[in-house]
Amino acid sequence: MSENQMTEATKTAGAPGEPYRGTTTGTESIVTLSKITKTFFRGSEPIRVLEGLDLDVPNGSFEALMGPSGSGKSTLLNIIAGLDRPTSGAVRVAGADLGPMSDSELARWRSQTIGFVFQSFNLIPVLTAAQNVELPLLLTSLSRADRARHVATAMRIVSLEDRMHHYPRQLSGGQEQRVAIARAIVNDPKIIVADEPTGDLDRKSADDVLTLMERLNKELKKTIFMVTHDPAAAERAGVVRKLDKGALQ
Amino acid sequence: MNLATYARRNLFRRRFRSIMTVLAVTVATVIFCLIRTLVVVWHAGVDEAATDRLATRHKVSFTMELPKHYIDEIRQVPEVKAATWANWFGAKDPKERVPFFAGFAVDSDSWFDVLDEMQVPPDQLAAWKQTPNGVIIGDLLAKALDVQVGSRLVITSDIYPGDWDFKVVGIYKPLRKTADRNSLVLRWDFLNNDPRAGFAKDKIGWLVSRITDSVHSAEISRKIDTRFDQRDDQTLTTSERAFNLSFLGGFSAVLGAFDYGSLIILLIMTLILANAIAMSVRERTHEYGVMRAIGFPPRHILGFILAESVLVALVGGLIGVGVVVLAINNGIGPVLEENMSGFFPYFRAPLWVLGLALGLSGVLGLIAGAIPAWRMSRLSVTDALRRID
Ligand SMILES: Nc1ncnc2c1ncn2[C@@H]1O[C@H](COP(=O)(O)OP(=O)(O)O)[C@@H](O)[C@H]1O
Ligand SMILES: [Mg+2]
């Protein structure tokens, strides 16, 4: 992929009516969590997963979050991404205070701000690669032609322009995850959250996916927050944080 | 692609399950249409009976006969415009080409004046009055017996022994679709003069009269019956509709039970559909979680599931209606009309029944999808994402 294609992507992949929101300076925080607690209940027994957690993620950074299984990594990522709400504490992401937002406001905010990459790819099996990538754009007022253009660009960025009309089952695991990444960036989100994106991949495919994420960070200036327990994956990130016993070490 | 693409693709994701579900809806639709048609058709004959006609029979039983002179007395009732009479002949085709048809011995001078839903060309009617052994038959019966005007026709009877040698002098056509096109009428005087009918000499089976005022038919009926109150043979006069119903009494009750059966079938269909949709939705919990994460609001999830449920139901309903049109309206319906027109002069599923069946399948699809759809749309995103079924 050429430098030109990347530039084109940043130009075209903006939501309608919204100019591309530059993410150039690395000094301001794009994620600010303060005194976050999260308690689940199993029956009447409380499970305290996060206990007074503070976090600052600078705009444009690529961060990896590690920690033992069950330590609350996914819970933390879900709170940042506006999928879940903390039991207490304040969440500020991309200039928005998530606390007072209603569920539907939060859904809308997610569709414009966050790109999701999951461990198990989570493509819709009955839709082609291109249709999977187009899915988030159905929530915008973009025309069919504009949507097609955005999809083509995103597919080009992940180097799968020749797999547009394949169904997920016709793709390898690595290709599926790259389609998922195309789906995550097609809306030009400010932040990409990835929960164990290489967990289900072989080494070679995992490396391809990580290289792609690195380039999304460097060339498209996306802030990336990635949960992983793969040391090779964490190595690619600029910052590695460790979660243990409900707080960041 | 649009949102409907996804709902449509989901439809046949589990092909076998979808086909079985569609089939269940199809079968339910066909049975529903069949039962409704049966009910409608059965009542049509009764509903369309002329309201300005009364039937008078023996008070004790319609198998008992009345003296012939009752006709003259009934004609003297001021509200009676015209009256005629008939005897049951128990006609049978000796060659058994037609399993059942109605045969009456009637008064050739007045029968078709009162039973005016059957149309006979005037020259044929005139010929009948000149031909003692002449018969006039329905157009369908003529076809089934392969006779034309002028043909000889030999008939046997349940009641009177031997062969009855007739000449077809006329063929009547129906003016209402419920008119029995498979009946035969012979001349009452011809029967009455035959020694084989000597045991019922000068007796008549029942009387049919046309009255001036259908609104007051009950009073007129009472007036007729009062006239014969003090005689040996008392009468029971009812509307022709009620007279027809008294023949059908038992069957109407069975039909009523059937009618409830059709509702139960719809209920079972809804449960089958609801179960299939609930299974599919459960399997896709994680997928709906992904869509919610991407930003799809709960009402979209609700819409996907309801659309899928309604689509499955409508596909099944549409196939069912197609089957009914092909197999009943263009299949067994015409066959029943030809061979059993005494019972089913007209046997087609009316358009409104087809429409009702299709509409109901859609509505029941909506109901079947409602609970799974509502539950899924209420699930939190993280719960849905954690579910990996
Ligand atoms: N919805 C929930 N209800 C109850 N317990 C939960 C729920 N989500 C997470 N947990 C619990 O919280 C803890 C942290 O979960 P998670 O964030 O998924 O950990 P990690 O991603 O680090 O493996 C686990 O003990 C898990 O069982
Ligand atoms: Mg996890």
Q: In Å, how far are A229, B127, B303 from B167, measured between CA atoms?
A: 102, 11, 70
pLDDT band at B342 (very low <50, low <70, confident <90, very high): low
How many residues appear in chain A? 249
Q: Is residue A223 part of a domain?
A: yes
- % of chain A surpassing 90 pLDDT: 84
**pLDDT category, A7, cuts 50, 70, 90?**
very low
What is the pLDDT, as a whole number, of residue B238? 86
**pLDDT computed for residue B49 by the predictor:** 62
- Is residue A198 included in any domain, yes or no? yes
- Beta pairing, strands A223-227 & A191-195: parallel
pLDDT-above-90 percentage for chain B: 65
- Residue A205 inside a domain? The answer is yes
Confidence of residue A6 (pLDDT cuts 50, 70, 90): very low
Tell me what ipTM this predicted complex has.
Answer: 0.87
Which strand (E) or helix (H) includes residue B10? helix B3-11
The pLDDT value recorded for residue A151 is 97
The pLDDT tens digits of the residues spanning A46-105 come to 999 999 999 999 999 999 999 999 999 999 999 999 999 999 999 999 999 999 999 999
Q: Which two tokens stand for residue A22?
A: 């530059």
Shortest Cα distance, chain B CAs vs residue A231, angstroms: 24
On whether the CB atoms of residues A121 and A113 are closer than 8 A, the answer is no
Ligand 1 pocket, A59 CB below 6 A? Answer: no
Q: What amino acid is encoded at B376 in this protein?
A: M
Q: What angle separates helix B351-378 from helix B298-323, to the nearest 10 degrees?
A: 160
Contacting residues for A154 by C-beta, under 8 A, at least 6 apart: A9, A13, A133, A182, A183, A185, A186
CA of B282 to the centre of ligand 1 (A): 21
Whether A9 and A160 have beta carbons less than 8 Å apart is answered as: no
Among B10, B292, B295, the residue with its CB nearest the CB of A126 is: B10
B270: closest CA of chain A, how far (Å): 26
CA-CA distances (angstroms) from residue B109 to A13, B105, B175, B207? Answer: 92, 12, 20, 14
| pLDDT for position A26 | 46
Identify the pLDDT of residue B254: 75
Please list, in sequence order, all residues whose beta carbon lies within 8 angstroms of the beta carbon of residue B135, skipping any fewer than 6 positions away. Answer: B153, B166, B167, B168, B169, B184, B185, B186, B187
A219: closest CA among A24, A83, A16?
A: A24
A241 DSSP β-pair partners: A65
Mean pLDDT (whole number) for B335-361: 83
Q: Give the pLDDT confidence score for residue A11 in this predicted structure.
A: 42
Distance CA B287, CA B305 (A): 13
At residue B50, the pLDDT reads: 65
Q: Which are the contacts of A13, defined by CB distance < 8 A and separation ≥ 6?
A: A20, A150, A153, A154, A185, A186, A187, A188
* 8 Å CB contact between B217 and B51: yes
Q: Which ligand 1 atom is at minimum distance from the Cα of A77?
A: 17
* Nearest in space to B6 (alpha carbons), one of A100, A141, A124, A243: A124
Q: Is A64 among the domain residues?
A: yes
Question: Two tokens at B172?
Answer: 């009547």
Residues in a beta bridge with B216: none
Match 């206990």 to its residue by tokens.
A51
* A94 located within any domain: no
Residue B247 pLDDT grade (very low, low, confident, very high; cuts 50, 70, 90): low
- CB distance A132 to ligand 1 below 6 Å: no
B75's tokens: 């004609």
**Does residue A11 lie within any of the structural domains?**
yes
Mean pLDDT, rounded, for B270-279: 95
Q: At CA B166, angle to CA B161 and CA B170, rounded to 5?
A: 140
pLDDT at A63: 96
User: Is B4 an interface residue toward A (CB < 8 Å)?
Assistant: no
Q: Which domain holds residue A166?
A: 3-24+57-87+101-244
Find tokens 């990409």 and name the residue.
Answer: A192
Give residue B80's pLDDT.
93
Shortest CA distance to A184 belongs to which of A118, A98, A104? A118
* H-type alpha helices, A172-202: 173-185
For residue A8, pLDDT over 50 is answered with no
Query: Which of the residue ranges A12-26, A40-54, B230-244, B292-306 would you say has the lowest mean pLDDT?
Result: A12-26
Give percent of chain A above pLDDT 70.
89
Helix (H) or strand (E) holding B239: strand B235-239
Measured between alpha carbons, how far is A185 from A190 in angstroms, rounded to an integer?
A: 9
SS3 assignment for A103-118:
HHHHHHHHHHHEEEEC
CATH number at residue A194: 3.40.50.300
| pLDDT at res. A143 | 95
Using a CB-CB cut-off of 8 Å, the residues of chain B touching A122 are 286-287, 290
What is the full DSSP assignment across B287-345? HHHHHHHHT--HHHHHHHHHHHHHHHHHHHHHHHHHHIIIIIIIIIHHHHHHH-TTT-S
For A134, the closest chain B residue by CA position comes to B1
What average pLDDT does the segment B155-178 reach? Answer: 91
Pick left, alpha or beta for residue A246 (phi over 0 → left; psi -120 to 50 → alpha; otherwise beta): left
Rg (CA), chain A: 18
Residue whose token pair is 């976050």: A36
DSSP per residue, B109-174: TTHHHHSTTEE--HHHHHHHHH-TTEEEEEHHHHHHHT--TT-EEEEEESSS-S-EEEEEEEEEEE
| B100-125: pLDDT as tens digits | 788 999 999 999 999 988 999 999 99
pLDDT at B20 over 50: yes
Which of the residues A47, A109, A126, A190 would you substitute to probe the B interface, choosing the one with the greatest number of B C-beta atoms within 10 Å?
A126
Which position has the higher pLDDT, B339 or A65? A65
Q: In chain B, which residues have their Cβ closer than 8 Å to the Cβ of A195?
A: none
Selection from B223, B221, B214, B211 nearest residue B243 by Cα: B221
Which residues in A have their CB inside 8 Å of a CB on B?
Answer: 78, 81, 83-84, 103-104, 107-108, 110-112, 116, 118, 120, 122, 124-127, 131, 134-136, 138-139, 183
Written as one letter, the residue type at A213 is: M
Does the pLDDT value for residue A177 go beyond 80? yes
- Give the count of domains, chain A: 1
Among all bound ligands, the one having the nearest atom to the CA of A76 is 1
Taking residues B294-313, what's their average pLDDT? 94
- Looking at residue B281, its pLDDT comes to 93
Strand order in the sheet with A62-66: A114-117, A191-195, A223-227, A62-66, A239-244, A247-248
- Residue A9: pLDDT band (50, 70, 90) is very low
Q: For residue A184, how far is its CA from the centre of ligand 2 (angstroms)?
A: 19
In whole angstroms, what is the distance from residue A94 CA to residue A22 CA?
12
pLDDT of B245 over the 70 cut: no
Closest CB to B294 among A103, A104, A136:
A136
Residue B384's pLDDT is 92
Mean pLDDT (whole number) for A180-208: 95
Residue B83 and residue B157 in contact, taking contact as beta carbons nearer than 8 Å: no
Residue type, B84: T
| A93 within a domain of the structure (yes/no) | no
| Residue A36 forms part of a structural domain | no
- Which ligand has the nearest atom to the CA of A65? 1
**Given a cut of 60, is residue A3 above it in pLDDT?**
no
B32 contacts B262 by C-beta, under 8 angstroms: yes
CB of A246 sitting under 6 A from ligand 1: no
Instruction: Compute the average pLDDT of residues A104-124.
Output: 94
Distance separating alpha carbons of residues B340 and B251, to the nearest angstrom: 16
Rounded to the nearest integer, the mean pLDDT of chain B is 89
Beta strands in B89-146 (DSSP E): 91-92, 103-106, 118-119, 134-138
**Residue that has been written with the tokens 């690595």 in this structure:** A174
Report the nearest atom of ligand 1 relative to the CA of A72: 17
